[in-house]
Amino acid sequence: MKICLQNLIRNSKMQINKVYWTEDAAFDLEEIIDYIFQDRESVAIKIYDEIKQVTASFKVNAKRNRIVPELQNIGITNYREIIYKGYRIIYKLETKNIYIIAVIDSRRDFETLIFKRLLRK
């Protein structure tokens, strides 16, 4: 039986979060989808829709996913991630807000990508 996210939210006493995409994360997703779109248009559209659905689910129970290991190793525990079809979706937990920080290929080195991103700014 499939439960609709809106019904789950309406019928529960769970904390409801707002989900925001950072510019960097939106750019990450756009690059991924553009790359896939070159060869497989329908697959690109499907992955885009699915990633948006996954991130929308963070409205409830956002703590259910694992803490980003590279950050946990240095004592930072308010960043979580889910790996979806080979992509790491990394988000920051705040009181009632969730910020999608990055969508990256899980085969790539996280620390190098984040360092390059910091240098860009």
Q: What is the CATH number of the domain that holds 55?
A: 3.30.2310.20
Q: Which of 69, 93, 120 is nearest to 19 (CA)?
A: 93
**What was the pLDDT predicted at 21?**
97
- Structural domain that includes position 40: 16-120
Report how far Cα 102 is from the mean position of its chain's Cα atoms.
6
Residue-wise pLDDT tens for the chain (121 aa)?
455 656 655 555 567 889 999 999 999 999 999 999 999 999 999 999 999 999 999 998 888 899 999 889 989 999 999 999 999 999 999 988 999 999 998 888 877 877 777 776 6
**What was the pLDDT predicted at 117?**
74
In a domain, 4, yes or no: no
Instruction: Break the chain down into helix, strand, coil percent, rounded to 5.
Output: 50, 25, 30
Give the total number of structural domains in the chain.
1
CA dihedral sign of residues 103, 107, 113, 114: positive
In a domain, 9, yes or no: no
Under DSSP, is residue 103 helix (H, G, I), strand (E, B) or coil? Answer: strand
Tokens representing residue 32 in the block: 């991924």
Instruction: Report the alpha-carbon distance of residue 12 to residue 8 in Å, rounded.
Output: 6
**What was the pLDDT predicted at 108?**
83
pTM over 0.85: no
